[in-house]
């Protein structure tokens, strides 16, 4: 089992990416294929790296953040993301990990790997820290405007991810809304509600924004427009709180000394709220494991993204989704009908 | 100038409400009319209160959280929220403040005060703490599904609120989206974008979730479904972070001692991130000043809500919106057209 890593994607590529891949190779004894400009990758690897675990596939082209994803993916066959995806398609790698353009990773997966039968639209599943562990939030950006049956499919994929990869026995799935009552919601979520009830998952009903971080559910379902805003708002508020705390501490000597004494506790705190700790966001619904990491991924984040990829492969995530979707009557049946009627 | 306070609304009513009203009366020398069950209000007031500043209007009925707002408001003419609204309509009070059911406060304002001419839907403006001060987020729950021209009107009202009441010279207004580029957005926000450009405000374009808390804008515009989710997610994450921090600190003696030394800094931190510090959320777009406070408002939150009401009255917020809306060509003109075409 090998993992393909897009060595050229991300704000700190290839330096941090190669470093993270090396850490993962050593720590997990994981075979990794670094896909990117061979010369640059070799320069980052240096002379002392585990040659039995690290191989390189040369891919000189790069897709920049500003490029139109679908167009760029079609044109740049020798870009690192397209070549990494191709390795998965050809069975030469079991999964791919990229911190490059999310749009390019998505377009590349859709074109190269294709959708799982029965899934109309793949979703990106963000894994956010909560009071009690982690909450899977999906979609966090793959689809802007969603139909009710899309939300139903997301709920099944999120449920399976939480169960298989996070190891939660019977994950609680909530539909993100503006109130807990069944009567609350937008046109789309009101129509999605009965579909989630029929999805064969542990659907607990509507949830509010605060539930994501309180850990009252394991999976929170929403469209990609809302999920993206909530994900980034969460990042923003965590950053703002940490900065504010530091500012206030720096105002007094007693506080500074006190904080030195509490530094271990603060570091544990920081670790628990750190997005990089979980690693990447899986792109669910495509025929293969594709993990999308934050653009500003450090070596640690990348290493954790590789861990997530390994866990997804080990737990046969793609097969589980395929099986579950084919068994439950979703999307084309009641879902499609209701969607057409109400939106 | 008198402020009407719904003494019976809120989780801790009438105790905390009356206490907050008393604090505001004393601290701001503000005349206040407490609207509610006279006997209960008098019991909370005790014998030593400033009779020259506090008066009572008896309103024995209460609208509970579960009741249908519009129905309850029509039926219960002697409920505290309906009587408080009536005082504003009759010119006996200049503003009202309530921590009761948001739906009832809205229905009561719409029926009792009516909409400002040119505003199709009022919006609730949440004022959230950011790294640099405050960010106005609207709508945070009055309207679930919005049309592009609704967002345009929200942007004008939010701009005027930030300018008049928060005292920001030329507030920067952003449209909440899933990316900064003009091409990013949902069907509704993409159609709203040009309308905000034409709204005669300082529109800075699309913003992301993180910008709300970083203070890169003064006003963030979205529909009430998204705004409500983001507001509550923000509350949830702030609460979760504080709890996590405390848990980690309690694990070690050194940390506990350290934190005692840093306690003032931590308290300043807590104060800066405390939602109650700002007070209430103004309901913008109705013919009068109506401030909606959090259901779990303490005396401090209520006092701050009264301060917000006073500032809104002093700065002629309602007149400013009326004037601005009648001057700029919005809603019926380009806005309405575009809205019809694209949604």
Residue numbers in A near B273 (CB within 8 A) = 241, 244
Nearest by CB: B236 against A214, A225, A252: A214
How far apart CA B35 and CA B90 sit, in angstroms, is: 15
String of DSSP letters for B182-244: TT-S-HHHHHHHHHHHTSSS-EEEEE-HHHHHHTS-SEEE--HHHHHHHHHHHHHHHHHHHHH
Token pair for residue A111? 């074109």
A80 Cβ under 8 Å from any chain B Cβ:
no
A317-327 helix and A299-314 helix, angle to the nearest 10 degrees: 50
Chains A and B form CB pairs within 8 A to the count of 206
Q: Which candidate, A169, A178, A164, places its Cα nearest to that of A211? A: A178
Interface mutation target, options B265, B269, B270, chain A, most CBs of A under 10 Å: B265
| Bridge partners of residue B55, in order along the sequence | B33
How far apart CA A56 and CA A36 sit, in angstroms, is: 8
- Rounded mean pLDDT, A117-127: 93
The predicted pLDDT at position A129 comes to 85
Select the more confidently predicted residue: B329 or A47.
A47
- Confidence label for A16 from pLDDT (cuts 50, 70 and 90): very high
- Distances B24 to A275, B54, B91, B206 between C-alpha atoms, Å: 42, 10, 21, 38
Nearest by CB: A241 against B241, B251, B264: B241
- Rounded mean pLDDT, A264-280: 71
Distance from CA of residue A230 to its chain's centroid?
Answer: 14
Smallest CA–CA distance, residue B29 to chain A, in Å, is: 32
Q: Across the beta sheet with A95-98, what order do the strands follow?
A: A54-58, A31-36, A2-6, A95-98, A289-292, A281-284, A123-130, A133-138, A219-221, A172-176, A202-207
Contact B255 A238 (CB under 8 A): no
Token pair for residue B61? 């009925």
- Of all residues in chain B, the one with the smallest CA distance to A258 is B258
Smallest CA–CA distance, residue A235 to chain B, in Å, is: 6
pLDDT in tens, B122-138: 999 999 888 888 999 99
pLDDT in tens, B285-330: 999 999 999 888 999 999 999 999 999 999 988 888 888 887 765 5
Nearest by CB: B248 against A141, A189, A268: A268
B169 Cβ under 8 Å from any chain A Cβ:
no
Contact A234 B209 (CB under 8 A): yes
How far apart CA B283 and CA B290 sit, in angstroms, is: 6
Select the more confidently predicted residue: B213 or A154.
A154
Among the ranges given (A19-23, B186-190, B229-233), the one the predictor scored with the smallest mean pLDDT: B229-233
The predicted pLDDT at position B279 comes to 80
The phi and psi torsions of B173 (rounded to 5 degrees) equal -110, 130
User: ipTM value of the model?
Assistant: 0.87
How far apart CA B11 and CA B17 sit, in angstroms, is: 10
């Amino acid at each position: 089992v090998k993992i393909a890593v897009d060595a050229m994607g991300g704000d700190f590529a290839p330096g941090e990416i190669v470093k993270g891949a090396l850490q993962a190779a050593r720590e997990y004894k994981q075979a990794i294929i670094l896909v990117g400009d061979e010369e640059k990758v070799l320069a980052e690897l240096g002379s002392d790296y585990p040659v039995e675990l690290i191989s390189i596939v040369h891919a000189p082209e790069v897709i920049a953040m500003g490029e139109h994803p679908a167009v760029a993916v079609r044109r740049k066959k020798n870009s690192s993301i397209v070549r990494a995806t191709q390795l998965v398609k050809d069975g030469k790698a079991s999964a791919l990990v990229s911190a490059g353009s999310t749009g390019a990773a998505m377009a590349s997966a859709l074109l190269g790997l294709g959708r799982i039968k029965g899934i109309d639209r793949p979703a990106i599943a963000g894994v956010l820290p909560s009071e009690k562990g982690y909450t899977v939030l999906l979609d966090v950006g793959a689809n802007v405007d969603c139909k009710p049956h899309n939300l139903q499919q997301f709920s099944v994929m999120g449920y399976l991810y939480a169960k298989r990869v996070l190891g939660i026995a019977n994950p609680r799935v909530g539909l993100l809304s503006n109130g807990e009552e069944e009567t609350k919601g937008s046109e789309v979520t009101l129509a999605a509600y009965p579909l989630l009830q029929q999805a064969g998952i542990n659907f607990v009903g509507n949830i509010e924004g605060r539930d994501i971080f309180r850990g009252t559910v394991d999976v929170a379902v929403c469209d990609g427009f809302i999920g993206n805003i909530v994900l980034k708002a969460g990042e923003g508020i965590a950053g703002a709180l940490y900065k504010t705390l530091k500012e206030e501490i720096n105002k007094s000597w007693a506080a500074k000394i006190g904080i030195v004494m509490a530094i271990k506790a603060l570091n544990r705190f920081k670790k628990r709220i750190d997005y990089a700790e979980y690693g990447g966001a899986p792109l669910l619904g495509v025929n293969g494991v594709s993990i999308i990491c934050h653009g500003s991924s450090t070596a640690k984040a990348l290493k954790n993204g590789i861990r997530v990829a390994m866990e997804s492969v080990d737990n046969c995530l793609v097969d589980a989704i395929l099986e579950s979707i084919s068994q439950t009557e979703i999307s084309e049946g009641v879902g499609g009908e209701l969607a057409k009627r109400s939106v």
